[in-house]
Structure 1
Amino acid sequence: MAQKPRKNTMISHGIAAQNRKGRFNYAIKETIEAGLVLKGAEVKSLRLGRAMITEAYAGERNGELWLFNSYIPEYQGGVLSRFDTRAPRKLLMHRKQIEKYLGAIAREGATLVPLDIHFNNRGVAKVTLGLGEGKKNVDKRHAIAERDWQRDKARLMRNKGRGDY
C-alpha cells in the first residue's frame, strides 16, 4: 500500500536551518541572537525549512553586520516576486553589540559563524551567531574521539542489563 505524500509543513517557531559543522570547525566562545531582514517570499521559504547556512558567514559592510552566502531557495507557492537565493542579508543588532563584535574580529582574528536560523515564539526570524576561533585538526580529532567514546559508553550501559557484552 502506497503512503500518502506529506503536505509541506510550515515552521511557526523552531529551527528553520542549522549549521551543524559550525561547532565542529570553530571553538565557540560566545553566542548572540540577531534579527534578520528578509522579504516576504524569503520568510515563506524559510518556514518550509529548506534553507542552508553551512557555508554562510557574517561580516561587515559599511559599518553594519551582514549574513553572506546563506542559501534560501525561491518559494514555489505562486508568488511572483523573485529574489537572489544567495543575496547578503542584513543582521539587526544594537550599535554597541556591532562595535563589540567587529572589534573582536579585528583584534583577535575571531569569526562570526551563523549556528542556526530559527523562529522565536512570536514568529520572528532570528539567527544565532557564534563568536569563535577556528579549531586545529588535533582539536577536531579529539572531539571525534570524545563523541565516539560517549556513544560507546551509552551503548555499554544500555546493554549491561541484558547480559550481552
Structure 2
Amino acid sequence: MAKTNRFEKTINIKNKKASFEYEFIDKYVAGITLRGTEIKSLREGKASLTEAYCYFRKGELFIKQMHIAPYSLTVYYNHDPVRERKLLLNRQELNKLESKFSEKGLSIVPVRVFINDRGLAKVEIALAKGKKTHDKRQSIKEKDAKRDLQRMVL
C-alpha cells in the first residue's frame, strides 16, 4: 500500500499586481510564523497578498496587510485576518536585505505564499524597485506580444 502525502494539495497564492508594479532585483524564500487557525485557513487557499508589504522593526522582518481569512470551522479562537506576521530568514540574509532596503527607492514585496513538501508555510519575497508608467506600458506590450505568439502557435 502506497503512502499518501497529507499535503498533496498544492497551495500557491501569487501577488500578480507586484510584478506589474515593481521590477524584482533579488528573491528570497522566508518562513512565516502563523497561528493554528491561520495555517488551516491558508491550506484551504484563503489568503490574499494584494495589499501586503514588508518592513523591518528592531532588526527583524515583518509582513503587514497580508489577509488570511478566518478559519470557517472555528468559533472562539480565531485570528485577526490582517495582523502583522514575522518572517523567518537567516541573520546574513536579514542583514543583506536591511542594508539594501535602506537605499532610496527599494522596497520588499511578498510575491507568493506556498506550502513546501514538509507542510510548512513559506513566503517568497522580492527586493524590488518601483516601475515608472512608461515601464508599465512596455511590460503590457511585451505581455500582449507573448500572448499573440502563443495564439499563432496553437
What is the TM-score normalised by the length of structure 1? 0.85
Percent identical residues: 38
Number of corresponding residues: 149
Q: Which has the larger share of strand?
A: 2
Question: Which residue of structure 2 lines up, in the alignment, with residue 41 of structure 1?
Answer: 37
Q: CA deviation at 1:151?
A: 1.1
8 Å contact 1:12–1:123 — kept in the other structure? no
Structure 1 residue 116 and structure 2 residue 112: aligned? yes
Per-residue Cα deviation, 1:106-133 (whole angstroms, up to 9, x for no partner): 0243111100110001010000001110
Per-residue Cα deviation, 1:25-60 (whole angstroms, up to 9, x for no partner): 100011000000000100000011010011100101
8 Å contact 1:13–1:121 — kept in the other structure? no
Structure exhibiting the larger radius of gyration computed from Cα positions: 1
| CA distance in 2 between partners of 1:120 and 1:22 (Å) | 22
Question: Which residue of structure 1 lines up, in the alignment, with residue 69 of structure 2?
Answer: 73
What is the one-letter code of the residue matched to 1:38?
Answer: L
| CA distance in 1 between partners of 2:31 and 2:153 (Å) | 43
8 Å contact 1:29–1:132 — kept in the other structure? yes
What is the one-letter code of the residue matched to 1:156?
Answer: M
What is the TM-score normalised by the length of structure 2? 0.90
Q: CA RMSD in A?
A: 1.6
2:144 pairs, out of 148, 155, 163, with 148
Q: Could you say if the C-alpha distance between residues 52 and 135 of structure 1 is closer, same or farther in structure 2, counting changes exceeding 3 Å? A: same
What is the one-letter code of the residue matched to 1:58?
Answer: C
2:96 pairs, out of 95, 100, 115, with 100
Question: Which residue of structure 1 lines up, in the alignment, with residue 10 of structure 2?
Answer: 14
